[in-house]
Amino acid sequence: MYWEKELETIDRRALESLQLDRLNSSLRQAVKSPGYCRIPEISKIVKSGMTSIAQLGELPFTTKEDLRQGFPWGFLSMDKKNVVRLHSSSGTTGNPTVVYHNREDLQSWANLMARSLFSAGIRDTDVFQNMSGYGLFTGGLGFQYGVEKLGCLSIPSGAGNSLRQIKLMRDFGTTVAHAIPSYLGRLFEVFKDEGLDPRQDTQLHTLVIGAEPHSEEHRRRIEELFGVKAYNSFGLSEMNGPGVAFECTEQNGLHVWEDAYVVEIIDPLTLQPVAAGEIGELVMTTLDRQAMPLIRYRTRDLTRFIPGPCRCGRTHRRLDRIAGRSDDMFIIKGCNIFPMQIEGVLLKLPEVGDDYRIIIETIADQDEMLIEVEVKKQWFTGDLDFLAKLENHIARLIRDEVLVRPLIKLVEPGSIPKSEGKAVRVFDHRQR
Ligand code: ADP
Ligand code: ZN
């Protein structure tokens, strides 16, 4: 049992007063770092003390660039001898950033993780296989400590080696597994090649998927293939890693743990808060981190608050599925496009297989978007007429969604090269 009822169902007023207390101590801790002690607004507010959360809006943002410039120790707020672990981001968008933890930080992270898993219906009777890379990437140890705290039997299988994953699942009766969504299609193929069906031949009832953007359609496919419920897990190394926001059994948005973070959603251009329920960039401030508190960290992830209370009773607000990172967006023919918009269209179609990639090129002085789409085996026949019609159909559906008509190239299942780790969807080869 890992249900922090009082904290998870706390009323808004009490939550805000708790946040204010924690924010003040977080700021006092933050100014001990070389990076934050140089910022006059922060030193000033530390002297006077904050009297309302709204005052946070007067402080400057912290960006990934700031962290990179401060590399390696610039945002460390305590003596190195008290720090017990460091993690870094996966480096999807450039140089990785590094985050430090002391013992208490690791404890609170494990608590948040255990609470998150519990909210998705996972219990100490489950056998939990973590198919995430262990090491600097936070998906390994981050889940590990949470799963142990909750009391499941954990199988720290690590990433890759699908045959071994399947064997472990079957030998030990895995009931819950965690993986990045782009890996699960591949894992399913290996099940099939082995003459196995995960629905019949495993005891899986839950998958936890996260670490990379994925559409609702993608989730539904995973649920269908594996015969499970799949829950979305969101996190970023700068805010610990997994355990920042998690879907509860209602599967309608991710509760973001507001006793551990102050959450803002801003317009990335004006830097002002968006109107209630509007989509914008997620900005987060840590409330219970000692080794490296971060203030108003611009995550570059785009989402919105889902209005209204959740039926599960938890009062911490829900974030909508991440629409993408601001740096994933590409502009072509004057239209702003996110890969997830395209994924949403593709994965609704039963003929479409597991993978796709978007290639942007300059052809005869024009920017063109070429989308390679894997088609499922049974549809990838020699019937050229059928394939041409399908290409045309997909091109039209995508144009209706993003306002630019792409060139579609249907390809054999398994033919799109896989990236190591998180999926890379967009290849921009434009001459600039
Ligand atoms: P990197 O930024 O190098 O990928 P991290 O491993 O810290 O480093 O990854 C955090 C990022 O991964 C988030 O900022 C977000 O863009 C993405 N991410 C994590 N979980 C999810 C999720 N459930 N849905 C969409 N994107 C996610
Ligand atoms: Zn809920």
**Ligand 1 atom with minimal separation from the 96 CA:** 3
Starting at the edge strand found earlier in the chain, the sheet holding 241-247 runs 153-155, 127-130, 176-179, 206-210, 229-236, 241-247, 254-256, 318-319, 305-306
Nearest CA to ligand 1 atom 19: 211
CATH 3.40.50.12780 residue ranges of the chain are 1-325
What is the rounded distance in angstroms from the CA atom of residue 32 to the CA atom of residue 200? 56
pLDDT at 328: 84
Low-confidence ranges of the chain (pLDDT < 50): none
- Ligand showing the shortest atom-to-Cα distance for residue 310: 2
What is the rounded distance in angstroms from the CA atom of residue 187 to the CA atom of residue 163? 8
CATH 3.30.300.30 residue ranges of the chain are 330-429
> Is the CB of residue 325 below 6 angstroms from any atom belonging to ligand 1?
yes
pLDDT at 319: 98
Range 408-411, long-range pairs (CB < 8 A, 24+ positions): 408/370, 408/371, 408/373, 409/370, 409/371, 409/372, 409/373, 410/373, 410/374, 410/375, 410/380, 411/372, 411/373, 411/374, 411/375
**1-325: in CATH 3.40.50.10860:** no
**Ligand 1 atom with minimal separation from the 422 CA:** 4
> Is the CB of residue 97 below 6 angstroms from any atom belonging to ligand 1?
no
Given ligand 1 and candidates 141, 216, 234, 261, which is best to mutate, with the most ligand atoms within 8 Å of its CB? Answer: 234
pLDDT at 89: 82
> Is the CB of residue 89 below 6 angstroms from any atom belonging to ligand 1?
yes
What is the rounded distance in angstroms from the CA atom of residue 161 to the CA atom of residue 164? 6
Nearest CA to ligand 1 atom 13: 236
Nearest CA to ligand 1 atom 25: 213
Given ligand 1 and candidates 88, 212, 222, 284, which is best to mutate, with the most ligand atoms within 8 Å of its CB? Answer: 212
pLDDT at 432: 64
Q: What's the 385 CA to ligand 1 centre distance in angstroms? A: 40
In CATH terms, 330-429 corresponds, of 3.30.300.30, 3.30.460.80, 3.40.50.300, 3.50.50.60, to: 3.30.300.30
**Ligand 1 atom with minimal separation from the 93 CA:** 3
> Is the CB of residue 233 below 6 angstroms from any atom belonging to ligand 1?
yes
CB neighbours (10 Å) of residue 146?
A: 28
**Ligand 1 atom with minimal separation from the 232 CA:** 23
pLDDT at 420: 81
**Ligand 1 atom with minimal separation from the 92 CA:** 3
pLDDT at 380: 87
